[in-house]
Copies of this chain bind each other. A is one copy, B any other.
Amino acid sequence: MGKETKSGKAGVSDKVYQWKMVTTWPPNFPILDDACKLYARLVAEMSGNRMQIRVFGGGELVPALETFDAVRNGAAEIGHGAAYYWAGKSPAASFFATVPFGMNAQQVASWIHAGGGLALWEDLYAPFGLLPMPAGNTGVQMGGWFNKEINSLGDLKGLKMRIPGLGGAVLARAGGSPVLMAGGELYTGLERGIIDATEWLCPYHDSLMGFDEIAAFYYTPGWHEPGTNLELIFNQSRFEELTSDLKAILRAAAAQSGRWIHAQMEAKNAEAYATLLEKGVKIRRFPPAVIDGLRQLTKEVIEEMANGDRFTQKVYTSYKSFQEVMNRYSTIAEKAFYDNLQEKLS
């Protein structure tokens, strides 16, 4: 380190780091676990192997939902997941993943990188000794698999549906029963009528679950998850020990592996959707009255949540005002593009 050039010092320390990454995803979970391993490869390559990251799927080192605390207490230096899993720490966390009737992938990326979102997210995690980085997006998710047709808001009354988080809170307010159920139990639960409906992800991951074999209808769009932003979290004090070259490498690899996630999601979903259509799966859209009703209930749920503490209110205000200006532009931009697609919903 310290070679003089006409532009100043050049060179890097040869210190080697061996770090652990824990994730909220099941081991070998398609695309997301792959992306964590891709992240580790990119960082190793860029650093000349000076930063070596070993990836652990959920449950391999710590349980999936202890990722946040494991990175916080230093059991691992890095975590990969989505911020809404940490809504128990602060309700504000959800805005950095997704909220019902929130922004889609492109919009939320713009808020995070060019609308002040990232600074708020860093402020939220700093008291926990954590540093967040945006790391990809799932794209808009699907509304889920239903064995009951939804023609009005009233049809949600008594509906037993696996739908966690804020989406579940909104369903409850509509008179439905959000059910907590692990991924591995959903197929049987739906088949045996223990639940009437379940959301999961998008056509690719949903197809791997086999839901099309046992559900009558596939609803769209996923009003409850319009574009789930993913995260890498770092133990802040371990991160601060690094030289600036490694810090910059960890940031850039998050951008590159995140881009890969989103591209893979879209491509695999498009392919899986074509297969679902061939299989004759019945696609349904939630009728406008259902969407309008859910939007109103969402507003109530989120405003009550935001009123609970000053920081959440601050994040909500930033998110909402960016969304308002962005939605107006999206209407003449991306929406106008999609309005001209020749493809019609079958």
Binding site for B on A (CB under 8 A): 1, 3, 5, 7-12, 14, 16, 18, 42, 45-50, 52, 101, 104-107, 109-115, 139-140, 142, 202-203, 220-221, 223, 226-227, 243-245, 248-249, 251-253, 255-256, 258-260, 262-264, 266-271, 273-274, 277, 283, 285, 291, 295, 322, 325-345
Contacts and interface: CB of A to CB of B under 8 A. Distances in A.
With a 10 A CB-CB cut-off, give which of A16, A48, A344 has the most chain B CB atoms.
A48
Given A3-B14, A259-B109, A332-B221, A326 B49 contact: no
A277 to B, nearest CB: 7
Given A48-B12, A48-B243, A329-B273, A336 B220 contact: yes
Closest 3 CB pairs of A and B: A113-B263, A114-B267, A12-B48
A338 B330 contact: yes
Per DSSP, are chain A's interface residues mostly helix, strand or loop, or mixed? helix
Nearest to A253: B252
B344 A263 contact: no
Given A327-B343, A330-B338, 14 more contacts: A1-B48, A9-B49, A10-B47, A42-B248, A42-B252, A48-B243, A48-B244, A106-B106, A109-B263, A110-B264, A113-B259, A227-B337, A258-B259, A338-B339
Contact of A270 (B285, B295, B329, B336): B329
A110 B263 CA distance: 4
Contact of A264 (B9, B107, B113, B202): B113
Nearest to A327: B343
Nearest to A113: B263
A5 B48 contact: no
B331 A267 contact: no
A330 B342 contact: no
A266 B114 contact: yes
Contacts of A101: 340
Contact of A340 (B14, B139, B269, B291): B291
Contacts of A10: 14, 16, 47-50, 52
A258 B109 CA distance: 12
A341 B335 contact: yes
Contacts of A42: 248, 252
A11 B49 contact: yes
A273 B113 contact: no
Contacts of A255: 252, 255-256, 259
Given A110-B267, A245-B48, A333 B105 contact: no
